[in-house]
Structure 1
Amino acid sequence: MSERNIFLTAEDRKRLVALLERPTAAWDRDDVRDLVVEIQRASVVPAAEIPPDVITMNSKARLLDLDRGATLEYTLVYPQDADFADGRISVFAPIGAAMLGYRVGDEIEWTVPGGLRRLRVEAVLYQPEAAGDFSR
């Protein structure tokens, strides 16, 4: 993942830190370590102040695969809610960790076994904070 300024809501940060403190957290995975670094350096803001074009937890985003030209829609979720077939991507998955905190227009890059993947955030279709749903 590239160096960028990301935003997290205080509640998302609290929930993510609690998940990472569990003994079952896979600390040996690079993407989980990257997520820890992102959380530590994120700008933490109250949910009511998060910009509406930022991918937060439980946000649904439209992404453009810059290498394949395909449009994808993913919802960024906590691990227990993940269902790849339904487009619900865990924040602990490499693409999930990479998506967190990105904004419309940003390009996401992350390394996969087959090389580099590149996506651009085209739209945030749903963001709980923008919808006034501060409990998600």
Structure 2
Amino acid sequence: MPRQIFITAIDQERLQKLINEAKEFNAGSKEYLKNLERELKRAHVVASEKIPHNVITMNSKVSLKDLDSAEKMIYTLVYPSDANLLENKISILAPVGTAILGFREGDVIEWEVPDGRVRLEVEKIIYQPEAAGDFDL
């Protein structure tokens, strides 16, 4: 059974709007949208003030470890318009972005990506907007 993931009500609302707009305006493959929508449907939605501080929310900066290669990476999870791989800002619509949303420190995430399957451990949440009191990011 999949792990329970958490998401703030604000993130859920913004992401559902993003999905709806993308479905309306983008032709082509919608697999990434289906994956994100599936994650949103199974998420436990809570108020921003009540989200646990060890949960990855939108605009969180996290340290991940690839369990197969032992490579460590730091990403900030952002909306598509803010994505910038040179700054390690990964879009929620990227496979890894969708995969990490709502998970906690210590969780292991297995996710299908174009090259196969990745196994990532959430090592540390370096910054979470809600923990820092930034509820409107």
TM-score in terms of structure 2 length: 0.93
Partner residue of 1:85?
86
Amino acid at match of 2:38: V
Task: Report the alpha carbon displacement of residue 112 of structure 1 after superposing the two structures with TM.
Answer: 2.2
Which residue matches 1:103? 104
- How far the C-alpha of 1:41 sits from its partner, in A, is 1.8
Deviation at 1:17, TM superposition (A): 0.8
Q: SS of the residue aligned with 2:25?
A: coil
**How far has the Cα of 1:42 moved from its partner?**
1.0
Name the structure with the higher helix share. 2
Count of aligned residue pairs for this structure pair:
135
After superposition, the C-alpha distances for 1:84-132 in whole angstroms (9 at most, x for unaligned) are 1210000001000001001000011112233211110000000000000
> What is the distance in 2 between the residues matched to 1:92 and 1:108?
16
Name the CA distance, whole Å, in 1 between partners of 2:81 and 2:39: 21
Answer yes or no: is the 8 Å Cα contact 2:108–2:121 preserved in 1: yes
Paired residue secondary structure (2:75): strand
Q: What TM-score, normalized to structure 1?
A: 0.93
1:115 alignment partner AA: G
Q: 1:104 to 1:110 in 2, by over 3 A?
A: same
Q: Aligned partners of 1:130 and 1:110: how far apart in 2?
A: 26
- 1:15 corresponds in structure 2 to 14
Q: Is the 8 A contact 2:5 2:43 kept in 1?
A: yes
Alignment of 1:1-136 (within 5 A): 3-22=2-21, 23-24=24-25, 28-136=29-137
**Ranges in structure 2 where 5+ consecutive residues have no aligned partner:** none
List structure 1 segments (4+ residues) > 6 angstroms apart after TM superposition.
none
Structure 2: how far apart are the matches of 1:25 and 1:76? 22
> C-alpha root-mean-square deviation of aligned residues, in Å?
1.5
- The alignment-based identity, stated in percent, is 50
